[in-house]
Amino acid sequence: MKKLVYLFAMFLMLTSCGEYQNVLNKGSVEDQYKMAVKMYEANKYGKALRLFEKITTSYRGKPQMERIQYMVANSNFNEKNYSLAGYYFNRFTQNYPKSSKKEEADFLSALSYYKAAPRFSLDPTDTNKALEAFQTFIDSYPNSSRMEEANKYYKELRYKLEKKSFEIAKTYYRTADYDSRNYKAAIVAFDNLLEDYLGTQFKEEALYYRFKAAHDFALKSTRRRRVERIKEAEKAYDKLIRNFPKSQFLDESNQMLSVLRKEKEQLQPVIKS
């Protein structure tokens, strides 16, 4: 009995595959559309996409095109072609701004780019697209039932970009022993982080490393340049302590400040001259 059931299932599968291939290769546009919808509703998204690719041109400008564009976007999403899905969902909302599925498509466009985004250290293109898309969604649908989820993803993406900026700045600092120009690059990078991401979770650590970079840069400068750079380092210390008077880096920062002040005292003759 089990063998008969198995053989019957195989027969149905082969028949179905044969029907699909026949429609794909020789079917009319209408038959291909019907088969594409059938495959889509059966969650066979890869097969649906192959058919949609063949019929899209024929349905351009027709009423069915709205449904086709949405199914193409959603098929790509379910096939984990996330960058393509983000693009097609965005195209759908632009082409059909009055569609009942616009809110859902806007959210799925952002979610697609979110899922396509790599970890923080890699190319941030999709991360930036996702961040922008979620910000647009949050602004456009303040009463959406998806608002909590959208805010959660937005915060994750923002953190990812903050961390990338922070790690880039730290890399400049860590490599400055080999190339002293990187001290200045680190200072600029930390300043950019603090300016671009107000309230960043990395603010205390960024201010500390910004001071540390300014401290090291000053001490490794020529005697005449050292004077002005010590003053800049002192300003960096003041900014750290002003924002975090009980900073976890307070003891080490105070020690560095003490070194700078002693150095400045020794440079008084240079200052006067």
CB atoms < 10 A from the CB of 259, how many? 15
Asked if residues 33 and 64 have their Cβ atoms less than 8 Å apart, the reply is yes
pTM of the model: 0.79
- What pLDDT is stored for residue 21 in this prediction? 87
Tens digits of residue pLDDT in 54-68 = 999 999 989 999 999
In the chain, how many H helices and how many E strands?
Answer: 13, 0
Residue 31 has pLDDT above 70, yes or no: yes
What single letter denotes the amino acid at residue 33?
Answer: Y
Tens digits of residue pLDDT in 204-262 = 999 999 999 999 999 999 888 898 999 999 999 999 999 999 999 999 999 999 999 99
- What pLDDT is stored for residue 224 in this prediction? 83
What single letter denotes the amino acid at residue 228?
Answer: E
